[in-house]
A and B are shown apart, each in its own frame.
Chain A
Amino acid sequence: MHFAIRYLTEYRYREPVTDNLNALRVKPATTPCQRVDDFAVRVEPETRLTQHLDYYGTTVIEFGISKPHEQLAIDVRARVVTTPAAPPPEADWEPAVTAEYAAHGGEYLLAFGAEPDDIAIDELVGLSRAATPAATLQAVTELIPDRFEYRPGVTYVGSTVEDLLTAGAGVCQDFAHLALVLLRRHGVAARYVSGYLFAPPAGDEGADSAEVDTHAWIEALIPAAEGEPVWVAADPTNRGLAGERHVKIGHGRHYSDVPPIKGVYRGGATAELEASVRMTRTDTASRTAPAAG
């Protein structure tokens, strides 16, 4: 699928602030099933942007605005082409307990910080164990939305898996974190993925354009009967494997390794945030704006 993505973030401060420094992880990744045709970031007030790849290979765009200002706008535009991923390999558990698998999985096999020592986790691990790693991944992505309600406003950006267990509800970030804990408990390497998901609202599934949010899902390292294991993307918020509608930015062990926007500024004023992500299909027949190409 072809998408035009526009991710607009606006901060308004009650009083002028200075030295507003931000790090953006918003650029779609280039992967075997994803191509970036165009990418641009504009910041208002205007400033110099620098770019580097972080430890996980995610593009980080950084900038700072030193002069006093009362508004900050970050305007990100991207054009991306996605293709479906190959079906996940099928293999039993045996190749997932080898040294080669561990070498591939690396730190995505290890617990991230202090993971919850909770009987509820043990139960979910037991319920999601299946005959193969691929079937276990499927079970995890179905079990989580079965057990937990998707409800914004219950958790916040810094919420833990324990918060999700306590509240019984959360958002994609929380679902992804729980899926990672479960998969790692099964011995399956798993990583947090940040990106964009094309998801038109219910009742208008055929729409070419949709107002969305940045989205989080996971990738699990699924062993193959022959050859190397494969990272398979799955979306525990949407009960299944991730596909062409998922546009990946980057991955890490946890949200904190790939936050879309992270910033601090000097000044006592509080900030009001308005953020929006609009995704538009640019490859559908009903497209009416030829100039857009």
Chain B
Amino acid sequence: MPDGYDEVFAEPGRPREHAVALAAALAELGPDALSNAGRMRDSIFMQQGITFDAGGPDADGPVRDRPFPLDLIPRIIPAAEWTDIKRGLAQRIRALNAFVDDVYHAREIVHAGIVPWELIVSRSAFARAAHGIRPPGGVYCHVSGCDLVRDADGSWKVLEDNVRTPSGISYVLENRVAMTRVLPGLFSSYRVRPVDHYPALLRGALTEVAPTTADEDATVVVWTPGPFNSAYFEHAFLARQMGVELVEASDLVVRDATCYIRTTNGLQRVHAIYRRIDDAFMDPLEFRPDSLLGVPGLMRAYRAGTVAIVNAVGTGVADDKAVYPHVPEMIRFYLNEEPILQNVQTYLMADADERHAALARLGELVVKPVDESGGKGVFIGPTASDQQIAIQADEIRRRPERWIAQELVRLSTCPTASPEGELVARHVDLRPFAVFGEDIHIVPGGLTRVALREGSMIVNSSQGGGSKDTWVLEDDAGETTRAAAPAAAWSPPELPGLRQGGEWSGQQQQQQQT
């Protein structure tokens, strides 16, 4: 057992109270049965097309599908612990949302001297086109997936915020379904809170923020960049689960500041767009003029308040890694509360004092680029060679504003099945998914990601990570599971047939100034 916190074993051979039944069930099952269950899982996933692009660290490589690696040992979170996590996350998301609103309006947090203006305007995700636009209900961060880790002392910390287009919820749902098929026996000693109401929560939030008139039903769509996107499976999954249309840019058109979907019966008004596409590719008239991927005029419709864009435009300014160190102060400033979940100690390399201190002990720290996600470009001091440390130090000196350094969090471990069915300790994190419509709802648990290589702390699925079904237990007080999830009671509406849209011209109408 490595030193650090293990999710199941308090010490070797002695499971924590909530995990006693799980440890017993696994011991009874034995390695052979576990290994067989693994093969059954793989064939189910391949058959259903639940795969992940394993292009590797340089995401530009060819798309290679493999079954999404679900580890069969669940990760269990007791009810009381989940209550704290949930409160802490809801608090943090409210603060991040208030920050986004502030950034694009009065910038009170700047005037108060808490966040420097240079930091805000120099973020690559700062969206000038969103300036002054307040979406319905003042909600910007409708869907968030902040990454939590458990430190060696057992405390939960926020490693990263994610309020752009966080992905992974489809695996949460599919993992649960697969687990109940492959290893139903494991559930027999536990009352596990369901997760399958997520699509209904998301659809509910989209409907709540959709600017409809009194007698109108909201038309909601999921906007995907297309089948070549690594999360396309999830886009299609969510659209299907919510019973809404999955669209690409060419299916949408803006006429007179209103957004429409092109159907075989003509144009149909769209009220809310769950977009899984970056700001930069949404509207070539406002953002990148070289991009023809977007929907020209969409920002005009957004500005006019005729369509809700989820998440709102410009939220990326709040989850930037150089903004992250300020989140605890945001919570105090906007909510007048003390943060429930703590940050990992973080140093801005743009700050000369912090940089000097960090460079002197780079071998102990984790270094991350401020504007990347998905574990790209992350440097882990303790596992780096002297040469790698020197190269990283040069990079930091060359462009200090591009980097932050963090204390290494010794991620907790969780028993994980090896291909032979043996239990081995592997590091895990947790990405819970929150949906913010009229209120904040957090799906119990979330995506537990696991680093499948021994000792590794990189859990990103693009870098060889796997996942686990995450069980939040029902309250001991005996509160029963909600019998009917809202999803069950709701039937998808009939969908309009999509008509293929014409291509946008590559000709940009621009004039050079001479």
Contact = CB atoms under 8 A, between A and B. Distances in A.
Nearest to B285: A23
Q: Which of B122, B256, B285, B286 has the most CB of A within 10 A?
A: B285
The 4 closest A-B pairs by CB, nearest first: A263-B509, A55-B128, A157-B512, A216-B513
Interface stretch (A127-135, A201-209, A222-230, A269-277): A269-277
Given A19-B253, A55-B129, A266 B509 contact: no
A110 B122 contact: yes
Contacts of A55: 128-129, 131-132
Interface in B120-170: 121-122, 128-129, 131-132
B494 interface: no
B111 to A, nearest CB: 10
A262 B289 contact: yes
Interface stretch (B60-68, B234-242, B498-506): B498-506
Given A64-B254, A172-B514, A265 B509 contact: yes
B255 interface: yes
A262 B514 contact: no
Contact of B503 (A110, A255, A266, A275): A266
A194 B253 contact: no
Contact of B514 (A103, A173, A259): A173
Given A18-B502, A263-B285, A50 B257 contact: yes
Contacts, number: 124
Nearest to B131: A55
Contact of A275 (B129, B254, B289, B511): B511
B505 A267 contact: yes
B300 A50 contact: yes
Chain B interface mostly helix, strand, loop or mixed?
Answer: loop
B512 A17 contact: no
Contacts of B303: 52
A194 B510 contact: no
A11 B511 CA distance: 12
Contacts of A107: 117-118, 121-122
Contact of A152 (B254, B292, B514): B514
Given A173-B513, A275-B511, A265 B504 contact: yes
A62 interface: yes
A142 interface: no
A214 B510 CA distance: 12
Interface string B368-386: 0000000000000000000
A290 interface: no
Contacts of A257: 128
Nearest to A152: B514
Nearest to A192: B513
Contacts of B132: 55
B513 A213 contact: yes
A263 B504 CA distance: 11
B339 interface: no
Interface in B473-514: 501-505, 507-514
A269 B167 CA distance: 38
Interface of B: 117-118, 121-122, 128-129, 131-132, 253-257, 284-286, 289-290, 292, 296-297, 300, 303-304, 501-505, 507-514
Given A213-B514, A265-B505, 14 more contacts: A48-B256, A50-B257, A62-B300, A103-B117, A106-B121, A110-B122, A259-B289, A260-B511, A261-B509, A262-B509, A264-B285, A265-B504, A267-B503, A267-B505
A22 interface: yes
A167 B222 CA distance: 46
A97 interface: no
Interface string A142-177: 000000000010011110000000000001110010
A152 B289 CA distance: 22
Contacts of B504: 264-266
A293 interface: no
Interface string A1-36: 000000001010000011101110000000000000
B128 A64 contact: no
Contact of A17 (B121, B285, B505): B505
A172 B122 contact: no
A264 B508 contact: yes
A262 B128 contact: no
A256 B289 contact: yes
A54 interface: yes
B507 A271 contact: yes
A261 B510 contact: yes
Q: Which of B121, B132, B289, B507 has the most CB of A within 10 A?
A: B507
Q: Which of B290, B300, B514 has the most CB of A within 10 A?
A: B514
A238 interface: no
A262 B503 CA distance: 18
Contacts of B512: 155-157, 171, 173
Contacts of B511: 9, 157, 214, 259-261, 273, 275
B131 A264 contact: no
Interface in A97-113: 103, 106-107, 110
A87 interface: no
A293 B399 CA distance: 58
Contact of A19 (B118, B286, B296): B296
A22 B510 contact: no
B509 A11 contact: yes
B510 A267 contact: no
A266 B502 contact: yes
A269 B304 CA distance: 31
B514 A106 contact: no
Interface in A228-279: 255-257, 259-271, 273, 275
A211 to B, nearest CB: 12
